[in-house]
């Protein structure tokens, strides 16, 4: 029967062989953490390789994602659909084993990791989801939601600022089923970390409100087991297990050094490592008895079957709750959602009001929130400005998991990556808010949501120089353009309360990626629409006003639609035929077929002016090089909003002048 060390060595040899064959990669972390992984995966982790999506599985996150061969080895050895051919194709085109773990490639990879610190933050989100979901669905004697979130992380994750944001909040929220393993090997790419990382990490996490298990020998299986037992027994706090390891353990000449961090060991060193580990087998050759001891399919299937029996009993006792749980796990919306949400939108159109779109957003939340028990909202310390609290909002706390709203504090980046973790867990629709300017702090988490195609909803208010007196530090200029350039991110900048509600409706219904909702501080006039125009809003761009065959087209978004309608009236008074196109979502408009786009922006009409209080360069794709843009080319200034709009040319007179100058 293989020893624990031999079972861990299977991870080591697969990792060093795959990196060597790829001629790139990071063998050090997988080799150093192999013993910890062997204990966790074989003795504790509840999972089923035959069904990676089992609802009550434990979640495992490799936050130090550069060590991806660790998780690929674990998945392969445990019996997931990741054959040895995929291990051999590590880092190759179209393999299931890319350089960093990518969600949706290999079964069993719970999230995309690589940008350091985001994996542990996703894990915080998953633990939040588990805690809240357990409160909502578990009943006495029926614990159908009862799983842990385990996370491996390294020094790099701890140095990244996002880990401070997320782990601080995790302690505050008392996430007792979150267990993190710190790979304390003292090495990063540049060498020994003592030259640039001297934090007392244990004290830091204790100050966050975590339980900390110190000085665990990461190569001693019994010490690792004792630490995990201690962590699982602490139900009121998340736990950090501090594991002392040797990076590249098993490599006799490169272990303990940055030489094995991010480069292949080399053929000679791999041969020496095989001798050191007493591994007599060739490259990618794992003995049958080691495969047998690793394989978790039978045990995992039995665990899921046992849970299924519990769920059947739960369903018999609480049929409505069981049906609701199944609906939310599938990501389906309530049966009456489409009818009720559309009725609300049609009611808004029939009863014009002129609120700021941030207020229209809150009104939409009050209408949609009661329909959606899966809402999990939040704001980064700006709830009173973002207006993301709705009448049914309740704060989630350490002692009360019944809440559906997270007060994230000033943690924009942490909030956004936590939202991604909540979305990945399933069972909730997460939304979170800040000022549009401060999405800059969160940009990489927004990108990760788009990369993973997760339906996080990012709410951004105070969307332009219309913010006013707070000045250019708070006035977004280039943000919308950069967000629109992000693949798979759908962005909305609505012009009134109707477009705002439709934007929320679209975001809630979207299942294949994130949405940003960009709202104004200032009130906006509601526009008149026919039933056809109302239906076309969700196409991203539509004809709002038109005089037969137009000679001039004005294209606008958000607060500039009202302004463009006023400019159109002035141009019509001059005898011009004008079309006004409202384009609340350029992303959705670009996704329409050619015929629809031509019907909105006929190619024969070359006199076009785009109007938006954002960076002007983006809009030339719609107006052409011969068109004109009323936009921003500089940062803003500190002054009242009306003065700023006049100063930067967002006036009827300037739009009309630009239109009349077109050849």
Q: Which residues are catalytic?
A: 412
Location of structure tokens 């050094």: 257
Q: How far apart are CA 431 and CA 171, in angstroms?
A: 21
8 Å CB contact between 148 and 177: yes
75 SS3 class: helix
Q: How far apart are CA 328 and CA 339, in angstroms?
A: 19
154 SS3 class: strand
194 alpha-carbon distance from chain centroid: 32
Q: Would strands 429-435 and 552-556 be described as parallel, antiparallel, or unpaired? A: unpaired
SS (H, E, C) 89-105: CCCCCCCCCCCCCCCCC
> How many Cβ atoms are within 10 Å of 472's Cβ, its own excluded?
15
- Crossing angle of helices 412-425 and 118-137, in 10° steps, is 50
8 Å CB contact between 351 and 405: no
Q: Alpha carbon of 435 to those of 358, 420, 467, 508, 528: distances in Å?
A: 11, 19, 10, 20, 29
Q: Would strands 515-518 and 457-461 be described as parallel, antiparallel, or unpaired? A: parallel
Q: How far apart are CA 315 and CA 518, in angstroms?
A: 41
Location of structure tokens 């939310």: 328
When computed from its CA atoms, the radius of gyration of the chain, rounded to whole angstroms, is: 28
User: Which helix (H) or strand (E) segment is 214 a member of?
Assistant: strand 211-217
Q: How far apart are CA 645 and CA 622, in angstroms?
A: 23
- Crossing angle of helices 221-233 and 28-43, in 10° steps, is 60
Location of structure tokens 């910890």: 36
User: Which helix (H) or strand (E) segment is 546 a member of?
Assistant: strand 542-546
8 Å CB contact between 224 and 39: yes
Q: What angle do CA 332, 338, 342 make, to 5 degrees?
A: 150
DSSP codes of every residue in 13-24: HHHHHHHHHHT-
Q: Alpha carbon of 71 to those of 394, 452, 510: distances in Å?
A: 37, 18, 30
Strands (E), 380-514: 405-407, 429-435, 457-461, 490-492
Residues with Cβ < 8 Å from 160, sequence gap 6 or more? 116, 117
Q: How far apart are CA 359 and CA 355, in angstroms?
A: 6
Q: How far apart are CA 160 and CA 149, in angstroms?
A: 21
8 Å CB contact between 610 and 629: yes
Nearest to 567 by CA among 599, 533, 608: 608
159 alpha-carbon distance from chain centroid: 20
Q: How far apart are CA 607 and CA 21, in angstroms?
A: 58
């Amino acid at each position: 029967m293989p020893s624990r060390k031999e079972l861990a060595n299977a991870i080591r040899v697969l990792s060093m062989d795959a990196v060597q064959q790829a001629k790139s990669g990071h063998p050090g972390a997988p080799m150093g953490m192999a013993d910890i992984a062997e204990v966790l995966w074989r003795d504790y982790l509840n999972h089923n390789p035959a069904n990676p999506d089992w609802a009550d599985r434990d979640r495992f996150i490799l936050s130090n994602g550069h060590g991806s061969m660790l998780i690929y080895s674990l998945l392969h050895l445990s019996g997931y659909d990741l054959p040895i051919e995929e291990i051999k194709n590590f880092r190759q085109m179209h393999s299931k084993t890319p350089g960093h773990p990518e969600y949706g490639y290999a079964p069993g990879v719970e999230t995309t990791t690589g940008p350091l610190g985001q994996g542990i933050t996703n894990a915080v989100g998953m633990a939040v989801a588990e805690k809240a979901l357990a409160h909502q669905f578990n009943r006495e004697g029926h614990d159908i939601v009862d799983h842990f979130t385990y996370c491996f992380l390294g020094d790099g994750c701890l140095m990244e600022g996002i880990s401070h944001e997320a782990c601080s909040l995790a302690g505050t929220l008392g996430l007792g089923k979150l267990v993190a393993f710190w790979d304390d090997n003292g090495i990063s790419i540049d060498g020994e970390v003592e030259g640039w990382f001297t934090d007392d990490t244990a004290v830091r996490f204790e100050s966050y409100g975590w339980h900390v298990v110190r000085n665990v020998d990461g190569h001693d299986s019994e010490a690792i087991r004792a630490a995990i037992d201690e962590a699982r027994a602490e139900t009121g706090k998340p736990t950090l297990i501090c594991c002392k390891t040797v990076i590249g353990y098993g490599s006799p000449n490169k272990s303990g050094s940055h030489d094995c961090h991010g480069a292949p060991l080399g053929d000679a060193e791999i041969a020496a490592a095989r001798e050191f580990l007493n591994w007599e087998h060739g490259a990618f050759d794992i003995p049958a008895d080691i495969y047998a001891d690793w394989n978790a399919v039978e045990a995992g299937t039995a665990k899921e079957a046992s849970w299924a029996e519990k769920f059947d009993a739960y369903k018999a006792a609480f049929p409505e709750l069981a049906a609701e749980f199944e609906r939310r796990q599938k990501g389906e919306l309530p049966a009456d959602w489409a009818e009720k949400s559309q009725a609300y939108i049609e009611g808004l159109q029939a009863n014009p009001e002129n609120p700021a779109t941030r207020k229209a957003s809150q009104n939409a939340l009050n209408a949609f929130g009661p329909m959606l028990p899966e809402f999990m909202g939040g704001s980064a310390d700006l709830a009173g400005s973002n207006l993301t609290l709705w009448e049914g909002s309740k704060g989630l706390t350490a002692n009360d998991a019944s809440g559906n709203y997270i007060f994230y504090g000033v943690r924009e980046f942490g909030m956004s990556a936590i939202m991604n973790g909540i979305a990945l867990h399933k069972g909730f629709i997460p939304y979170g808010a800040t000022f549009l300017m401060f999405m800059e702090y969160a940009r990489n988490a927004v990108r990760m949501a788009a990369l993973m195609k997760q339906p996080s909803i990012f709410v951004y208010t105070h969307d332009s120089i219309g913010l006013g007196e707070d000045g250019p530090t708070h006035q977004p200029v280039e943000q919308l353009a950069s967000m629109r350039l992000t693949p798979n991110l759908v962005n909305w900048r609505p012009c009134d309360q109707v477009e705002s509600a439709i934007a929320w409706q679209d975001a809630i219904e979207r299942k294949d990626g994130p949405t940003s909702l960009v709202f104004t501080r200032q009130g906006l006039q509601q526009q008149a629409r026919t039933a056809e125009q109302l239906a076309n809003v969700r196409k991203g761009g539509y004809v709002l006003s038109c005089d037969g065959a137009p000679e001039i087209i004005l294209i606008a978004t958000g607060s500039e639609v009202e302004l463009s309608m006023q400019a159109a009236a002035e141009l019509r008074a001059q005898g011009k035929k004008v079309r006004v196109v409202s384009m609340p979502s350029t992303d959705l408009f670009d996704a329409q077929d050619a015929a629809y786009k031509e019907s909105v922006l006929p190619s024969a009409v070359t006199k076009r002016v785009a109007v938006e209080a954002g960076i002007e360069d983006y809009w030339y794709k719609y107006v052409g090089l011969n068109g004109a843009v009323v936009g921003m080319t500089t940062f803003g200034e500190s002054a009242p909003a009306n003065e700023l709009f006049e100063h930067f040319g967002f006036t009827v007179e300037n739009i009309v002048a630009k239109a009349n100058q077109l050849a």
